[in-house]
Structure 1
Amino acid sequence: MNFITRIQGSFIGKVPFYMLAAIVFIRLISIWIMGPMPQDAYYFFYSQHPRLSYFDHPPAVAYLLWLFTTILGKNIFAIKLADSVLTALTCIAVYKLAIRLFPKFEAEKIIVLFLSTLMVSILSLVSTPDTPLLFFWSLSLIALYEAIFNQKKKYWLLAGVLMGLAFDSKYTAVFLPAGMILFLLLSDANRKYLLTFWPWLTCLIMVAVSSPVIIWNVENHFASFAFQGSQRMHEAAAFTLKPKFILGLLGHQLALLIPVLFISIIVSVVQLIRSYACKWSEMSTTGVFLLCFFLPIFLTFLLLSPIYWIKINWMMPAYITGTILAGSLINRKWINLQVIISFIVHLALLVEVLFYPVQIRSDDTWVGWKSLSEKTNAIKSEYKADFVFSADSYKTAGELNFYNDSFIYGQNILGQNALQFDFIGTDLSLLNGKSAIFIDSDPGFKNSEKDTVPNNLLKSYFSSVTQLKPILIYNGARPVRKFYVYLCKGYIFQAKKATTELLQD
């Protein structure tokens, strides 16, 4: 009760408090009203095919969705509830970390800022590996704090386990041991730990807990490590400067955190570094700790952004300590503004989810997938096709698999790399000679002529290809989704290159 009173009176006013409550309420009701995003469907597809790890990402998100859908059944409510519950636990962990570093009053400011972000909404409502990553990242920092600041040796062991679980969530977790070692190097009071076996034991335990991911990669010719590491570094090595990538990164991060918090983080970090630029050893141990788990990941992706497209979620772990640092310095006026802007953004998002007034020109939408599945099944039945497939990465195939009991194939049907669809043991040679329905999404309604979808590619894998009437999905009287449909007869199976070869091409 005292916590609520302080929020209402001390550091934000009554109106912003109700706005913050409304933001949390919008997240809660969205669990029931929001349809499945392609990411929800794809990572649920992971959970339907249990593995030690997966091609795109480690397995933690799959295990999370498997647990909730096993208990609550195969439905989108169970999936979004899983994300929301784990994100709520992350928020608690962030508060527990903040209260170890700053007085309770400051920690309450920090959690208000954290709760106001669009980042928390994304983690709560869209299944991604970042949801378990941020949970285990926060717990890892708490364990490292207890081990280093409070000299509790057993927490070195716990930190290793939690860092391993973070790596089992997403490869970005490599910045955790990097941050730990950097902090010990820079902290005069704690550098002594580098001469003990404790931090190195922590790293060994992390590797042991990460062994499912390592074993899967060894068994699959390091396909996932190659995809996430060497392939992307090869693309970045082309070193083509693209200023719009930098602008895209900054724009996405401003939206992700809401501008007030993002700007406050940058200002706080710059001020802290400038204040101690010539006397680093005088910086508080807390300040060094926060910077060591913010700067490495933030600067890595910032420096890559001129030559490589950085996705909106890649910097998320940095904002745990970034928000704690900014929140300890920000004043009431700016917190109020942050909450007000966030409320407006979330209210607009609620209107979009309920009424869909702004059409999303992308497959990254929750709209129309169930209707697409029903219409696709009707076409498959009408033409007595043997199987259905799509070729837009994982999105359409993932959504159709979510709504169907029969298996929907990916672009490996056409000899292309199909992410995790390549690693579930399907024998495509068994489809030889069979007929299929090919679904091709046109999210931007760009193609107006009949024969614009890659017919030549289809014809090299099927004896005959006939374009059918496209599927249109309506919101009221307005068409909002368009899918081209092809009847493809006589599948001609062609052995595909191994995934490792495709990555090198």
Structure 2
Amino acid sequence: MDKSVVKLNQRTILAILIVFSILQALYNALLPIYLDEAYYWVWAMRPEFSYYDHPGMVAWMIYPFTFIANNEFTIRLSTVIAMSVTVWYLVKVSLEAFQNDEEKNTAWYVFFIFIANPAVHMGYVFITPDSPLMMFWAAGLYYTFMALKYGKTKDFIISGFLVGAMMLSKYAGILFPAAVFLYILICRRDVLKDYRLWVSLIIAILCLFPIFYWNYQYDWISIKFQYEHGTSSGFSFAGWDFILFILGSLFVIPTPVFGYVFLKYLWLKDYLHNKEVLFFIFLALVPMLFFFYKGFFKKMELNWIIPAFISSIILIGYAVAKYNMKKTFKYGIIFSLVLVVILKLAPVLPFPAHLNIAERLIGYKEAVIQFEKYIKDDDLIFSNHLTTASMLTFYLPEHPLTHINVPSRFSQYTIWDETDGIFNYDKEGVYFGKDDAYNFLKEKYSSVIPLEVIKVTPYNAFEKTFYVYRCIP
């Protein structure tokens, strides 16, 4: 492909992407904070090398924006940037990999399939560990492809840092180097003799120092938690959970039309003698088959398979271009955009609560505002769960750190609360939580005073109930 055409395509796509990103960022300011987002924001307020639930990248990405302001718009700027960088590198690697006349529109197809995807639109809104993972995975695709194609030292070095950044984002990032090495062993064994490959691997390992250092301090609890979280204790079939996970991975995340394109392309098998296309095949199928295997025995979450989606979307765009599937592409985009419109308007559409995908966003801010009047100077704020505690910290003035003083699942709060001595129950404060923890609190404090049962019934959402108690040691 002519270089001037490539540059024109890049400039045009970049201009569209900038406008699209600005509109996404403005939309984000309209939505309340999501439960998990608030939790990751609290991490950013207490920066550490790593955290119990995930490595630290998501908090490190949020952290710089806390100097601007602590609101929905600024916090989510981090994910808008991450998703935009993701699609930009998918376009760049597509332009580099597919330059024949029959393939030349691949980058455009990849771009529009990506930005029209409903799951991507959710990624543009909610900052989670998947956001940096997607960004570094896409950038890693580009620089690793360039390193293998042209053999430039700088591409090997950058790839090493990006692989390290993937694993600092989410432990699933390890599937990227696993897929690359499997590809090299089968298709490019010549690269094994190149010392720069091993330098790249060493760089990636050195980048993991924050994870190892933090886990060393806490008896490797994060690594143990993630292993147990994603691994079954036995080998019994997961049943419908497995079937639904397969269907979701193939037809929900990419949408049914583009899932069909992906499967059709795999079936045609014309990529078997094309090493460059096989690179993307390995980067899509290795994480996909890994989670399919795990899902056979234990319930998997759909977002876990996102790395496979990032790689497979290039293959989908390539298949559309190579086989001139313009009509299929049109139907796929229309279907995706209809779903996107429903997603964007969900908070105001008259859905019943059980069908409202925005239900978990609504009502917390209103409840926290009602709770605020019970807080005295020097009070500690208590709650019952990590997400409710995070919501309190986010929406209360001055953002006081909330503690969890009742039985709850182990989380980063557990570590902080043990360090801060909360479980001595010798500090006065006020409890706000979904659980009616009166009996437990009565055992731990000399006086527990009921203050209010706050009930919030937002539009098209379930009623949310919160119990408020003053706890006096």
TM-score interval w.r.t. the shorter chain?
0.7 to 0.9
Q: Residue 59 in 1 paired to residue 56 in 2?
A: yes
Aligned to 2:471: 489
Aligned partners of 1:284 and 1:193: how far apart in 2? 17
CA contact 1:65–1:79 (8 Å) conserved in 2:
yes
Cα pair distance change 1:347/1:231, threshold 3 Å: closer
CA contact 2:353–2:461 (8 Å) conserved in 1:
no
Name which of 198, 201, 206 aligns with 1:200: 198
Aligned to 1:438: 432
Aligned to 2:339: 345
Q: Residue 303 in 1 paired to residue 293 in 2?
A: yes
Unaligned ranges ≥5, structure 2: 10-15
What is the deviation of 1:125? 0.5
Aligned to 2:261: 264
State the one-letter code of the partner of 2:266.
V
Cα pair distance change 1:457/1:296, threshold 3 Å: farther
CA contact 1:372–1:473 (8 Å) conserved in 2:
yes
State the one-letter code of the partner of 2:326.
R
Give CA-to-partner distance per residue, 1:50-85, whole Å, 9 cap, x none.
Answer: 111111111111111111221x21111101222112
Give CA-to-partner distance per residue, 1:395-440, whole Å, 9 cap, x none.
Answer: 11111111123535344x2254441113334221564153432311
Aligned to 1:130: 130
Aligned to 1:409: 402
Aligned to 1:14: none
Aligned partners of 2:224 and 2:361: how far apart in 1? 31
CA contact 1:389–1:409 (8 Å) conserved in 2:
yes
Aligned to 1:373: 368
Aligned to 2:215: 217
What is the deviation of 1:362? 8.9
Aligned to 1:285: 275
**What is the TM-score when the length of structure 2 is the normalising length?**
0.86
Q: Residue 398 in 1 paired to residue 390 in 2?
A: yes
Aligned to 2:13: none
Give CA-to-partner distance per residue, 1:438-472, whole Å, 9 cap, x none.
Answer: 3116xxxxxxxxxxx45544444334556554322
SS of equivalent residue, structure 1 residue 314: helix
SS of equivalent residue, structure 1 residue 310: coil
Name which of 294, 317, 321 aligns with 2:311: 321
What is the deviation of 1:314? 0.7
What is the deviation of 1:290? 0.9
SS of equivalent residue, structure 1 residue 205: helix
Overall identity of the aligned pairs, in %: 22
CA contact 1:47–1:62 (8 Å) conserved in 2:
yes
State the one-letter code of the partner of 2:215.
N
Give CA-to-partner distance per residue, 1:215-253, whole Å, 9 cap, x none.
Answer: 1111221111111114542xx123343322124324543
Cα pair distance change 1:379/1:255, threshold 3 Å: farther
What is the deviation of 1:153? 2.4
SS of equivalent residue, structure 1 residue 353: coil
CA contact 1:465–1:486 (8 Å) conserved in 2:
no
Aligned to 2:330: 336
Aligned to 1:93: 89
Deviates more, 1:456-465 or 1:190-199: 456-465
Aligned partners of 2:131 and 2:263: how far apart in 1? 24
> How many pairs were matched up?
451
Name which of 441, 454, 458 aligns with 1:471: 454
State the one-letter code of the partner of 2:319.
L
SS of equivalent residue, structure 1 residue 36: coil
Q: How does 1:349-360 map to 2 (within 5 A)?
A: 349-355=343-349, 357-359=351-353
What is the deviation of 1:124? 0.9
Cα pair distance change 1:270/1:216, threshold 3 Å: farther
CA contact 2:82–2:134 (8 Å) conserved in 1:
no
What is the deviation of 1:390? 2.2
State the one-letter code of the partner of 2:74.
A
Aligned to 2:31: 34
State the one-letter code of the partner of 1:299.
L
Give CA-to-partner distance per residue, 1:82-126, whole Å, 9 cap, x none.
Answer: 211221111111100111111331221121111111222122110
CA contact 1:167–1:173 (8 Å) conserved in 2:
yes
Aligned partners of 2:441 and 2:236: how far apart in 1? 33
Give CA-to-partner distance per residue, 1:262-284, whole Å, 9 cap, x none.
Answer: 23223322332xx57xxxxx521
Aligned partners of 2:43 and 2:339: how far apart in 1? 32
Aligned partners of 1:265 and 1:33: how far apart in 2? 35
Using CA pairs under 8 Å that are at least 6 residues apart, name the structure with larger relative contact order, 1 or 2. Answer: 1
SS of equivalent residue, structure 2 residue 48: coil
What is the deviation of 1:136? 1.0
Aligned partners of 1:109 and 1:231: how far apart in 2? 36
Cα pair distance change 1:131/1:356, threshold 3 Å: farther
Q: How does 1:102-141 map to 2 (within 5 A)?
A: 102-103=98-99, 104-141=104-141
Deviates more, 1:461-470 or 1:223-232: 461-470
Aligned partners of 2:301 and 2:403: how far apart in 1? 23
**What is the TM-score when the length of structure 1 is the normalising length?**
0.81
SS of equivalent residue, structure 2 residue 360: coil
What is the deviation of 1:163? 0.8
Aligned partners of 2:347 and 2:51: how far apart in 1? 31
Deviates more, 1:97-106 or 1:126-135: 97-106
SS of equivalent residue, structure 2 residue 300: coil
SS of equivalent residue, structure 1 residue 471: strand
CA RMSD of aligned residues (A): 3.1
